[in-house]
Chain A
């Protein structure tokens, strides 16, 4: 069964510093997508960054980048130059592109606090 594990329930980072959120997953598939979603307090979840498993290059979106280690089934999110607005729950998610149902599986989340 596919599972997604986020082992850090909560993380703190000083404003302008860098923080890395961890995610591991379990799958027997070779072709899949990985995502990081952000859920601010009382706001809807939004996509931060996505990675296609067949791409070796790590995805980057402005201050957000991933370290995708396919063999280790690891997908960590690095936030550089942290800002107060980055404070939120962050969820790692996994999707099989060929499952037919395109079901997404989410981890339990990491709450990120940004300290001024």
Chain B
């Protein structure tokens, strides 16, 4: 399967612990997005990468959140000193840029990483 994959799918942690999520986008996609989705809400934009460059971060992303995409391939999202309010589904999505693949504007989503902070 060459879709977007996320790991882990579920993470339960205690408040104050650090967690890291990984996203492997579709291989030829140079754009990668992280979104957060809470119950009954739509996805909220967190951050965006074009290749390895992080081009935008939401104001929602506090200093406890950091994302990387070191080689322009996979990405990690780390949350330090987790709080109960961080409990959510973290979605990764990718899309092709104009230089690689036909850009229809479509986002391809992974199945998400569900975080529960106790």
Contacts and interface: CB of A to CB of B under 8 A. Distances in A.
B19 to A, nearest CB: 21
Interface string A35-52: 101000011111100101
Interface residues of A, number: 28
Contacts of A68: none
B109 interface: yes
Contacts of B43: 45, 91, 104, 106
B41 A109 contact: yes
Contacts of A107: 42
Given A45-B91, A97-B105, A102 B42 contact: no
Contacts, number: 60
Interface string B36-53: 000011111100100000
Contact of B112 (A44, A97, A104): A44
B109 A101 contact: no
A23 B95 CA distance: 24
Given A45-B91, A46-B109, A97-B105, A104 B41 contact: no
Contacts of B42: 4, 6, 91, 93, 106-109
B31 interface: yes
A52 B31 CA distance: 20
Given A44-B111, A46-B109, A47-B106, A103 B45 contact: yes
B58 to A, nearest CB: 9
Nearest to B105: A33
A12 B31 CA distance: 36
A95 B112 CA distance: 21
Given A106-B42, A109-B41, A109-B42, A101 B105 contact: no
A48 to B, nearest CB: 10
Most chain B CB neighbours (cut-off 10 Å) among A4, A95, A101: A101
B107 interface: yes
Most chain B CB neighbours (cut-off 10 Å) among A9, A33, A93, A103: A103
Interface of A: 4, 6, 9, 33, 35, 37, 42-47, 50, 52, 91, 93, 95, 97, 100-109
